[in-house]
């Protein structure tokens, strides 16, 4: 499963750190250096073809749970929630041959790319900079909406984008707090997703973590009230409901491989 929690670096030394998911390179957006850059409308999500999991923000859980299995990934401070979009490493079952997203809901992380909010060294908690992957196929110097005007000021397009990124980051922070709380309450257990086809092929995915219903039921009433008061209990139930979508992933895998799933 891809590491969706890699840090964003704002400076030229970005290559020295792990890049965020899907980024091939990363630079701090600069009105002088990037004055002529434009943003083209996205036609495909082919850049996500090699990822079997997409990070989710807190507010996305109810909508995403209707279509994707939601699981927990990572460890410690890097624990986060993801939408499972594949059952094998390096394969996204929601990307069509033409590169287009085949799901009804497109996760916000995909809509953010190739932009992200970063924090420069020594910056305050609320001091962010905009980072960009200038190699992305939606970035151009001749086509699309300008990111800056002739004076080097942010265009309306860029202002709207920054607002979206700020909202995304705020919701991602809530998602991290949610994942941390669930973990600290001892609710997570590791599970494997094993799929067998009639032709004998077996697909295994390990390292998935989900909330254990029994552990939730055994929580003291005070802990349950805390979960309910913070909307976390509601989100846990959305998580439970999302796991029913695993059968849909198996169907997509069968369609991609041409194999028939074995009877359960």
| pLDDT digits 0-9 by tens, 134-190 | 999 999 999 999 999 999 999 999 999 999 999 999 999 999 999 999 999 999 999
Return the pLDDT at 126. Answer: 65
Residue 264 located in a structural domain: no
Residue 65 located in a structural domain: yes
At 112 the three-state DSSP class reads helix
Return the pLDDT at 125. Answer: 63
The answer to whether the CB of 82 falls within 8 A of the CB of 1 is yes
Which is nearest to 22 in space by CA: 133, 103, 140? 133
Residues of the domain holding 108: 12-257
pTM to 2 decimals? 0.87
Where are any strands of DSSP class E within 125-179?
A: 129-132, 139-140, 145-146
Two structure tokens written together for 65: 């749970």
Residue 1 located in a structural domain: no
At 242 the three-state DSSP class reads helix
Return the pLDDT at 134. Answer: 96
Which helix or strand (DSSP H or E) is residue 115 part of? strand 115-118
Residue 198 located in a structural domain: yes
The answer to whether the CB of 46 falls within 8 A of the CB of 29 is no
Residue 171 located in a structural domain: yes
Q: How far is CA 169 from the centre of its chain?
A: 12
Two structure tokens written together for 232: 């976390």
Domain count along the chain: 1
Residue 124 located in a structural domain: yes
Please identify every stretch of the chain with a pLDDT value under 50, giving residue numbers as ranges.
2-17
Residue 222 located in a structural domain: yes
Residue 5 located in a structural domain: no
Beta bridge partners of 211: 188
Q: Please count the CA atoms within 13 angstroms of the CA of 197 that sit on its side-chain side.
A: 17
């Amino acid at each position: 499963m891809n590491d969706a929690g890699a840090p964003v670096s704002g400076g030229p030394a970005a290559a020295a750190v792990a890049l965020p998911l899907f980024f091939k390179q990363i630079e701090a957006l600069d009105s002088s250096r990037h004055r002529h850059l434009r943003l083209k409308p996205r036609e495909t999500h082919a850049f996500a073809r090699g990822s079997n999991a997409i990070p989710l923000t807190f507010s996305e859980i109810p909508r995403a749970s209707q279509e994707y299995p939601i699981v927990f990934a990572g460890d410690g401070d890097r624990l986060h929630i993801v939408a499972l979009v594949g059952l094998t490493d390096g394969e996204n079952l929601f990307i069509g041959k033409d590169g287009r997203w085949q799901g009804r809901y497109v996760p916000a992380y995909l809509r953010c790319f190739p932009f992200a909010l970063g924090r420069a060294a020594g910056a305050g908690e609320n001091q962010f900079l905009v980072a960009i992957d200038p190699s992305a196929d939606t970035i151009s110097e001749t086509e699309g909406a300008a990111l800056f005007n002739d004076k080097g000021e942010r265009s309306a397009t860029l202002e709207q984008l920054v607002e979206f990124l700020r909202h995304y980051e705020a919701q991602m922070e809530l998602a991290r707090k949610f994942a941390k709380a669930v973990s600290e309450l001892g609710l997570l257990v590791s599970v494997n997703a094993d799929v067998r086809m009639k032709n004998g092929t077996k697909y295994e995915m390990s390292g998935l973590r989900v909330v254990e219903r029994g552990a939730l039921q055994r929580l003291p009433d005070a802990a349950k009230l805390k979960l309910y008061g913070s909307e976390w209990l509601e989100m846990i139930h959305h998580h439970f409901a999302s796991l029913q979508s695993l059968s849909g992933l198996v169907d997509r895998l069968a369609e991609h491989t041409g194999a028939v799933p074995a009877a359960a």
